[in-house]
Every structure is written in C-alpha cells, then in structure tokens.
Structure 1
Amino acid sequence: MQNKNVSLQNPLGYFAMAGLLLVVAVPFVFIILQSIFPQLGSGSLANPFSHIAALFDDPRLFRITGNTVLLGLMVVALSALIAVPLAVFRALYKVPLAIFWDILMLIPFMIPPYIATLGWIMSLQPRGYLEQLAGFNLSSFLFSVSGMTFVMALNTFPLVYFAVSRTIEAVGARYADVGRVFGASSWRSFFRITLPLATPGLAASLLLVFAAAIEEYGTPAALGRRSGFEVLVTEIDLRVSDWPIDLAGAAVFSLALVLLSLGAFMIQRWILNRRSYVTTVGKPQAKDKRALGNLTIPVVGLFALVSFLATGVPLLAILATALSKTISGGLTLSNIGFDNFSAIAENSAGGMKALINSLSLGVASALFTGLLGAVAAYAVVKMRFCGRNFLDVLTVLPNSLPGVVVAVGLILAWNQPALLVSPYNTPLILLLAYCCILLPQPIRYTTAAFHQIGDNLEAAARVCGATSFTTFRRIMLPLIAPSLITAMLLVFSVATRELVASVLIAPVGMQTISIFIWRQFEQGSVGLGMAMALIAIVITTLIPLLLLTLLKGRKFSL
C-alpha cells in the first residue's frame, strides 16, 4: 500500500489548486465565455451564440484555419527532411566532430524565432547582405509560404534532431543487423526495424514542431503578411489590436487554435499507445557505431551546411546589423562601430529600461512557476486529496494554450468593467501571461523527478513527526532541486524574450526586450533593434549556462 498523504485539508494541494485556477483556468474559461456571449466585455450575457453563425458563414475562418494547418504540416515535413538523416548518421555512425555539430544544432534554441526571422530579412531582402556579397537577393522566396516554412523549419528541426538521434542511439544497430542476417537489405532493415522502434521520439518531436509552428507569431507576422498568407495567430492579433476590436471573434479563433494544439497532443498519445516500442536491452556501446567510410565528406558537408543555415546566417546577420552605424552604409569597415550598443546603454528609445523590465519579469516568472510547478507536481504525484484529478487536468491544460490565446484570455478576464481591482495595464498582467505560457516546463521536469522518489522517504518523515509541508521543504524539494533549477532557468530564458503576449497585453508605455526589438524594426531603427537582440541572446544564454556550471555537483538542503 502506498504511503501517500490522504488529508483533505493539506495546504500544499489547495495552494496548487488556487495558483493553477488563477494562472491557467481563468484565461481559458473567459475565452470560452467570450466565444459564447459576444457582449461579455460590456458585462452582459445577452444573445448567447448570436455571432457564431456569422463567423462560420465567413469563409475567412476556414481559410485561415486551413492556412494554419498547412503551414504546420509544411514545417513538420521540412523539419523531418532536415533532421532525420542527420539524426540517423549521428546515432549509428562515427561522425567526425559530433559534439561540435550537436552544439551548433543547439544554438537555434537560443535564438528566438522572431529574431532569427529578422536576421533572414536583413540577409535576403533587396539590398540585403546576400545582394551586397553576391549581387542578387531572394526576397521573392523569403516573403512567400515556402520562405516562411524554410525559416521556421530551421528554427524547429533541432527538436526532431535531438529526439530522434537519442532514440535511435538507444535502439542501436543490432536489431537491424538481425534483420540483415535473415536476408533483409540495409534499407529494408532500417525502414522496417530501426525507424519504427524510434517512433516515440519521432512522433513526439514532430508533433511538438507542429504545435510550435501553428503558435508562432513573429515569423508569420513578419513574412506572411507581405505575401497575404494569414494564419490564426496573426488574425487573433488583428482582431484584438486593430479597430474595431472584435473580442468575440478573437475568442472563437483562439478556441480553434486551442483545438488544433490539443488535437496534435491527442494524436501523439494515440500513436504511442497503439503498439509497444519496448526494447529489452539498454543503451548500446560506442562499438555499435560504424565508420562512415566514403560517406565521411558528404555527411560532414551536410552537417556543415545545415549548421551554417540554421546558426551561422541568423547570428552573422544579427551581429553585422548590430555593429553597423547605418544600414545604408553596407558591409564596409568604415561602417562598423558600437554606436547601437552605446545608445542602448544610454537608454536611447528606452532600451535599458526594456532590458531591466524583461530581466525582472524573467526572474519573477522563474521563481513563481518554479514554486507553483513543484507544488502542483508534488500534489498530483504524491498526494491524495479532494480535487486531485481536477488539479491533474489543470497541470496538463497549459500545454494546449498558445501564447496568443493566453493573452486574449487575460484581456477578457481582467478587463471586465465590474472589477474593482485588476492587474490589467500593470506589469503583473505580463507576469501572469508568462507564468501560464511557461508553467508546463517546471511541471514536466518536477513530475518526472517526483516519480523517481520512493514513498518510503515521506513515510519515514511522518513517523518522525514531520508535517507535509516540512516533508516537502526538507526532503522532497532538495531531491528535485537539480531538475527544478534547470526548468526555472529555461523559464527565465524564454520569458525575457517572449513576443506575442508582450505585444498584446503590455501596459501602456512599458517596453520589454521583444517589444523594443519589434518596434525598432517597425520604425526603421534596425541596427538598434539588432543590438538589443544580440544582448538578449548573450544574456539569456550565458546566465543559465553559468549558473548551471556553478551549481553542478552541489548538494542541496533546506
């Protein structure tokens, strides 16, 4: 019999319930209410469903939803085309400089998609860096559905690369070798044995790519609008930010986006549950990997090409633009300087204030989501109390809430005329948005950590008279600290440069890093925006890496 806390009055469980209701349930419930009651914003529940028929008669709903699905599928296909061959070579063969390539594949995670997109715009647009170096530009390709897919896939393919390479590495080549003993060709053995056994990693990563693609705002906003390719995210932004404001329509489009995200999650569960992918051996030894032989030069060339496109081009474009005194000066030594960085240090256009705002919100988001995520995961995994199953649902719900949906939900929830006190139009509204969007990270990490901790430790603590709170603080929290700190650092990195929620609900007059960069591009101060982008990439990469290095091997006690 498991020794789990069965008290119906345990404060940890109800703290987690209250926190998740505030952060997750409130925006989601108001999205649903607004989609039903079109006059909710004025405090009225009159004429329910009256606008639904008009929206479904509008061909834009189905066209934009179709565009969103099409874009997601195209990004998935191109990400798989790029990542799977690289992952197979990395997993089964001795690739020269393998660790070096892994690091280069990891860097796109450190570059926010909208910043990478701006780098590609600077490179391929008319009179961009490609035209200055080679005499031609690729603007017609970039500002098209194909160009948008290309840019987004270069940002998302590492999800597939790392998942598939590690999964195939765990499977190894021995099963394929058995197939070849029984007469199968090498290609048949790979496609009938190795690749199917790698389905869990492949399915999970491709559906993550799909979810990331349909939720991405910066790239469709920067590239899609010029080509007339509208998706749900940009349409929701348009209905919320442009006059006349259409909150009811934004709510319906938000629900469509939620359903797409939830559908991707359910498909993943169905794929993984329909058959067994268990192998009977552990991770293969290095001797299982084969030499590339005649394929060495082509494979290394492929890794180098993908690394250059995914990492080199955006970083070089960001660096070149940030160091340019004027954009019209081009790539010349006389045009290189640190004027843009000096301007930010002098708080030009509010750059330093934006940096401080984002760092403060990033730290606050990491602390709050870390605490709430750890308590919620502990309550779900280790406790029994009234409402535990509902709490479990609330911990899963943020996975299907894109950032733009969270932003719309917060606008609807906290902008009601009946509220006497509201966080709307204050920095607290951004904190709520970041916490809802990023809460899945600490919940995933700490849930996995709690599952690895036996119940005997809690039983021993209770025998010695410890309360549930003391047990959590003195025993469980130190044991999960490495996983929790990793998740909190990830939250910090993402929160400091989050774009879509920041653009939609930031208080009047308040800037964050992402808002500052976006506005500088809109206003033509591209060099200043790229300087801030480079600062953001350096800070949000080096600070987590430095802290992880300092904390490595340290024992935690509270």
Structure 2
Amino acid sequence: MAELKEEIEYSLPQPKSNWFTPTYEVYFQGKNLFYTILLAGYAFLVLYPILLLFINSFREGELGQDVGWGLTNWIEAFSHPSLLSALTNTLSITFTVQAISITISVVIAWIIARTDLPGRGWIEFSFWIVFFMPTLPLVQSWILLFDPYVGVVNQFFASIPFLSWIQFNIFSWEGIVWVHLVTGTIAVKVILLTPAFRNMDSSLEEASRVNGANMFTTFTKVIIPVLLPSILIVLILGIIRSLEAFEIEMILGGPEKIDVFSTQIYRMINDANPQHGAATALASVILTIMVPLIVLQQWITRRGGHATISGKFKTQKFQLGKFRWLVFSIMLIIVLIMTVIPLLSLLVGTFMSMYGFFNIDNAFTLANWNLILTRDTFLQALKNTLFLATLMAIISMLLYSITAYIIVRTKYVGRNLLDFIVWVPYTIPGIIISLGMLWLFLGTKVFQPLYGTIGILLVALIFTGITTGIQIIKSNLLQLGNELEEASSLSGASWWYTYRRIVLPNIAPAMIAVGIFCFSIATKSTASIVLLTTNDTMPLSILQLMYMLDGSYEASSVVGVIIMVLTIGVALIVRALGVNMTPK
C-alpha cells in the first residue's frame, strides 16, 4: 500500500521550485510575517527620513513648493558666508574635546576599575548621575559661574587685586569646550571604558611589574595596547556625538557668533526667510562625513583577537599606597565639579531677582517660582513632558524588548539587517533627526495631519533612544540561558506565549531600566525635536531653550531645576534597581 502511494505521488506533476517559495517562507509565513512587518516599520522609521533628506536636497523650492530639481540647494549651502567658520568650529571643538576627554577618561576608568580607590563604587555611580543630567540646565549653571560680567567666579577674582586679571568668558570657544567636558563627554567615556578595564586579566600587569617596569610604563606599554580596540571604539563614538552637538553651541556660541554645523542648520530653518533646501543639503554633508566613522566603528567592533578574559582570568587591585587619599581627593573634586557645583549654582539662580547680580538690593526672591509655576505655558509644557515621557517609556519597553528578542533569540533571516538598522540612529545628529522628521511629516501628504501633535515628537524620541534601549535588553538576553524557552517551544507553546511567560519575567529589570532611560530622554531631549514642536506640544526642554535664547535666565533656571529633578530621579531609580545600562 505504501509502495502504491509512493508511485501515485511520483506520477503526479511536481511543483516547480522557484526563488519566491523560500523567500515567502522565511519572510512572510507564520511568525516571520510579524518579524518582517516590524523590520519594514523600522526601515521606514529610520531609513526613509534619511533618504528623504538626500532626495529633497536636490528639490528646488521650499516645503510645499515643488518647482523642479537641481543643485541650487547645494550651491546655496556651500556659498553660505558662515559655512567655512561653522566647519572650522565643528572640527576644532570636536578634536579638542575628544583629545582631552579620552585621555582623562582612560585614567579615571583605570583608577575606578583597577585600584583600591576608596568609595570607587559611589564615584563610578556619580558619573552615571552626570550622564542622566540634562545639558541645558548645566549650561545655565556654568553661565552663572563664568559670565564675563556677572559670573560668580569672575567677580571673585576681580575682587582680589593681584588676581583681577583672571577672567574666563563662558561665551567663547574655550567655554564651549569646557562645558562639553564637564556635562557628559568625560562621564560617558568613563561609563563605557570602566567595564573593559575591570575585565582585563591582572596577570598582564603583574608580569610587567615583575620584569621591572614601573606603573607608568605598565600603563602605557601593556594596559593601553591591550585595551586599544575598546578605547578606539569609545573614541569614535565620542567623535560622532561631538559632531552632533547642538545645545551648548546654540547657547554659548550665540553672543560671539560661534556656529557649528547643527546650529547653522537650525538658523537656516528659523531664519526670517527659511532655507529648508540649503539646510537639507548641509545635513546631507554631515551624514556623508559620518559614514567613514560608522564603517570604522563597525570594523573595529567585529574584529577578533583582543579578548582579555581567559580560563585563567585573574583580577587584583593595584595598591595606591600613600597616594590613595590624594587620588581620592582628586576624583572627589572632579565629581563635585561635574555634579554638586552646577546643581547648587542652578538652584541659587532660581531665587535671584536679576540673574548673576548678587550686590543689588533684594537680590533674592521667590517671585521666579511663583511666576513660572502659575504660567499657562509652563503648565502646558509640564503636562506635555509628563505625557510624552510616560508614553515613550511604556511603548519603548514593549517595542525594544520584542526587537531585542528577535535579534538575539530567533533564527529570522533578517535579524542581522534589523540589528544594523536599529544601530544607525545612534550615529545621526539630533538636529538631522528633527529635520528628517520635518520632511517626513510635512513633505508627505498622508502624514501632514500628524504635524503639530505629540505623536510626531514621540516618533522622533523613539528614533533617538532606540539604539541604547535595544542594546541594554540585548546584553541581558545574551546573559540568559535559553533552556526554558526551548522547553516551552518543545511543549508546543507559541513564540508569543514563550515571550510573555518565559522571557519577559527574566528581563523585567532591564525593561524597567529601559523605560526609565527613555523617560529621561523624553524629558531632556532638545535637538531631535526642536524643529517639530509647536506652542501646543512644547515640552519643558524646548521651553527652557526658548527662555535662554530670549535671555530670561531667571525663568529658565526654574524650568531647569524641574527638569533636573526628573532626570536625576531616574538615575537614582536605576541605581536602586541595580541594572547595568552600559551598551555592549
């Protein structure tokens, strides 16, 4: 009977194989269909706005005025009188900030991870605090300290006869570099480098010292070469972030006309006669400049041969000896400069009748708080911020966790492409994200009704936080065994049931951390939404930016303190959860 069945099946016409059948199965059958829809959604969200920028850079005419194609926008952008100075400022600030910060960060990371420094756990956490602190409030705090006319520090030196020549103008190229260093550039590098130093085998250092090398020689000849790949990756990421800088240059560079690429784009769009086309062409130039950096970072990341943990892994703290408390004092001063001093400065500014003037009658008042807390614009901005941040936290926890699960746990053929797509936003400057979304929602008729709503801000913020959020959950998934998931699958459970009942409970702390992280992003982000907000959708971060650009420092300091409370509270919650949020 079985033989007869085989003969009948053999005699029937066999379906012809073609390329479409396997393609359909791996992309559009069963759960793969859901994966493909998600991949297409990410590709549209991430790649389409970028594509629009390049396409529209050749479209002549402003938004809604399609008059043809040509090179007018590029000619206008490259002939702009401020372009050369913006390019020079961008490169010089980036090079200086990164050269200084990588040198300091490497030393600090080594001290925290490899020595017996007292309180190193709390010092490391202090750099996380700096990471979460919003940029604009910190910029304002340094203005109160180093304003050339009323800055507290400058006034102090002016009161001392033989030190009256000392003055530091925060509204300068040097001021921009200083604020970059103390508002996160060093902190982020320390956060990323410390795990690499902590995971290095201490036997390498011991072998160097046994052969008679001093600590400096060991550090420069052994430790740095071993960790050079990790250091280069952090440096390249730092260069990418420096090229994206916006808030600091916008506030501190304004009085002295110190523009960089991002602020030049902003000014072009917000000019009395907006130059959307030229701004789009300039944005395309920045993206082109970043491509080699992205390729280099990916190449270094995927290279092998620099592992520092072996089967005989050994870790031993270097004894600082008599320098132990001296080093601790230096580290404490650095932490105080980055956290306590600007926080106190910002808080004091909220109670000043005239920002920076301590010697006038009735110098301090509660009027600033009373005025701001009762303004309709503030109350609306606070409502927008809390709604936007809460919504983003909830959506990101679900969306990012599902994406990370597909990349790490499934055999979906498009998972590597998905992993690449969700990494791309980390390399896109915030102002370009904002401009790309502007073209998407205003230049595409089907999306035009969404402009002026919270939804467009939510999309831009999800774009902004997607890379770090997914990397956090990925790192946690990679640390978990998949035995329970395999058992669930063998028992006949669907992938969705397995995800809900097995995966989610195990990665819950990481998901909560991602939600908190995204809440922080939505609270403090400026560049990625600055071109998308309206009076009705303006959050606190943009409200503070507007106050600062108008010179209303008393009002902006109050808004800054409220933003600071929200974001630092996030860092404290993450600390309580004990979740490692360092991207892998």
Q: Could you tell me the TM-score, scaled by structure 2's length?
A: 0.85
Q: In structure 1, give the amino acid aligned to 2:235.
A: L
Do the aligned residues in 1 keep the contact of 2:385 with 2:523 (CA within 8 Å)? yes
Aligned residue for 2:250? 221
**Cα displacement (A) at 1:426:** 1.6
Aligned residue for 2:451? 424
Aligned residue for 2:331? 303
CA distance in 1, matches of 2:444, 2:406: 35
Match of 1:315 among 338, 343, 348: 343
Aligned residue for 2:494? 467
Deviates more, 1:35-44 or 1:371-380: 35-44
CA distance in 1, matches of 2:250, 2:358: 26
Deviates more, 1:67-76 or 1:230-239: 67-76
**Cα displacement (A) at 1:342:** 3.1
Q: In structure 1, give the amino acid aligned to 2:384.
A: N
Aligned residue for 2:120? 98
**Cα displacement (A) at 1:257:** 2.5
1:291-339 per-position Cα deviation (integer Å, ceiling 9, x unaligned): 3233235423321332232223311210110122443652799644443
**Cα displacement (A) at 1:184:** 3.6
SS of structure 1 residue aligned to 2:492: coil
1:545 is aligned to 2:567: no
1:244-284 per-position Cα deviation (integer Å, ceiling 9, x unaligned): 22222222222233334443333333344556221225775
CA distance in 2, matches of 1:451, 1:311: 34
Q: In structure 1, give the amino acid aligned to 2:391.
A: A
Deviates more, 1:312-321 or 1:457-466: 457-466
Aligned residue for 2:29? 8
Aligned residue for 1:383? 410
Aligned residue for 1:127? 150
Aligned residue for 1:168? 197
Change (3 A) 1:137 1:458: farther
Change (3 A) 1:446 1:89: closer
CA distance in 1, matches of 2:360, 2:128: 31
**Cα displacement (A) at 1:455:** 4.8
**Cα displacement (A) at 1:243:** 2.8
1:363 is aligned to 2:390: yes
Aligned residue for 2:5? none
**Cα displacement (A) at 1:341:** 2.8
Do the aligned residues in 2 keep the contact of 1:33 with 1:40 (CA within 8 Å)? no
Do the aligned residues in 2 keep the contact of 1:173 with 1:194 (CA within 8 Å)? no
CA distance in 1, matches of 2:362, 2:259: 41
Aligned residue for 2:173? 145
CA distance in 2, matches of 1:90, 1:332: 45
Aligned residue for 1:178? 207
**Cα displacement (A) at 1:387:** 4.6
Do the aligned residues in 2 keep the contact of 1:65 with 1:256 (CA within 8 Å)? no
Q: In structure 2, give the amino acid aligned to 1:312.
A: V
CA distance in 1, matches of 2:293, 2:521: 22
Q: Aligned runs of 1:65-80 on 2, under 5 Å?
A: 65-80=87-102
**Cα displacement (A) at 1:407:** 0.6
Change (3 A) 1:284 1:345: farther
Change (3 A) 1:482 1:145: same
CA distance in 2, matches of 1:386, 1:83: 39
CA distance in 2, matches of 1:528, 1:252: 36
Q: Aligned runs of 1:404-443 on 2, under 5 Å?
A: 404-416=431-443, 418-419=445-446, 421-443=448-470
Q: In structure 1, give the amino acid aligned to 2:45.
A: V
1:152-207 per-position Cα deviation (integer Å, ceiling 9, x unaligned): 01121012223333322322543122123334443322212111222244223322
Pairs aligned (count): 546
Change (3 A) 1:452 1:38: farther
Aligned residue for 2:139? 117
Aligned residue for 2:421? 394
Change (3 A) 1:320 1:221: same
CA distance in 2, matches of 1:382, 1:272: 21
CA distance in 1, matches of 2:553, 2:81: 37
**Cα displacement (A) at 1:466:** 2.1
The alignment's C-alpha RMSD in Å is 3.0
Q: In structure 2, give the amino acid aligned to 1:113.
A: T
**Cα displacement (A) at 1:235:** 0.9
CA distance in 2, matches of 1:453, 1:504: 41
Change (3 A) 1:302 1:418: same
CA distance in 2, matches of 1:137, 1:360: 50
CA distance in 1, matches of 2:140, 2:338: 13
Do the aligned residues in 1 keep the contact of 2:60 with 2:70 (CA within 8 Å)? yes
CA distance in 1, matches of 2:30, 2:93: 48
**Cα displacement (A) at 1:526:** 1.6
Q: In structure 1, give the amino acid aligned to 2:249.
A: P
Q: Aligned runs of 1:190-205 on 2, under 5 Å?
A: 190-205=219-234
Aligned residue for 2:47? 25
Change (3 A) 1:270 1:392: closer
Change (3 A) 1:75 1:16: same
Aligned residue for 2:187? 158
**Cα displacement (A) at 1:345:** 3.1
Change (3 A) 1:482 1:151: same
Deviates more, 1:29-38 or 1:71-80: 29-38
Identity, % of aligned positions: 22
CA distance in 1, matches of 2:512, 2:226: 32
CA distance in 2, matches of 1:6, 1:408: 32
1:201-250 per-position Cα deviation (integer Å, ceiling 9, x unaligned): 42233223222222121101111233332211101111221132222222
Q: In structure 1, give the amino acid aligned to 2:238.
A: V
Aligned residue for 2:548? 521
Deviates more, 1:155-164 or 1:91-100: 91-100
SS of structure 2 residue aligned to 1:225: coil
CA distance in 2, matches of 1:139, 1:256: 37
SS of structure 1 residue aligned to 2:443: coil
Q: In structure 2, give the amino acid aligned to 1:258.
A: L
SS of structure 2 residue aligned to 1:367: helix
**Cα displacement (A) at 1:506:** 0.3
CA distance in 1, matches of 2:199, 2:438: 46
Aligned residue for 1:556? none
Change (3 A) 1:282 1:66: farther
Do the aligned residues in 2 keep the contact of 1:72 with 1:214 (CA within 8 Å)? yes
Do the aligned residues in 2 keep the contact of 1:148 with 1:219 (CA within 8 Å)? yes
Do the aligned residues in 2 keep the contact of 1:502 with 1:514 (CA within 8 Å)? no
**Cα displacement (A) at 1:406:** 0.9
Structure 1 residues not aligned, in runs of 5+: 554-558
Change (3 A) 1:40 1:130: closer
Do the aligned residues in 2 keep the contact of 1:376 with 1:395 (CA within 8 Å)? no
Aligned residue for 2:282? 253
Q: Aligned runs of 1:44-83 on 2, under 5 Å?
A: 44=66, 46-53=68-75, 55-56=77-78, 60-61=82-83, 63-83=85-105
**Cα displacement (A) at 1:81:** 3.2
1:416-449 per-position Cα deviation (integer Å, ceiling 9, x unaligned): 2744753112221111111111111221122223
CA distance in 2, matches of 1:357, 1:331: 38
Structure 2 residues not aligned, in runs of 5+: 1-24, 159-163, 580-584
Change (3 A) 1:289 1:465: closer
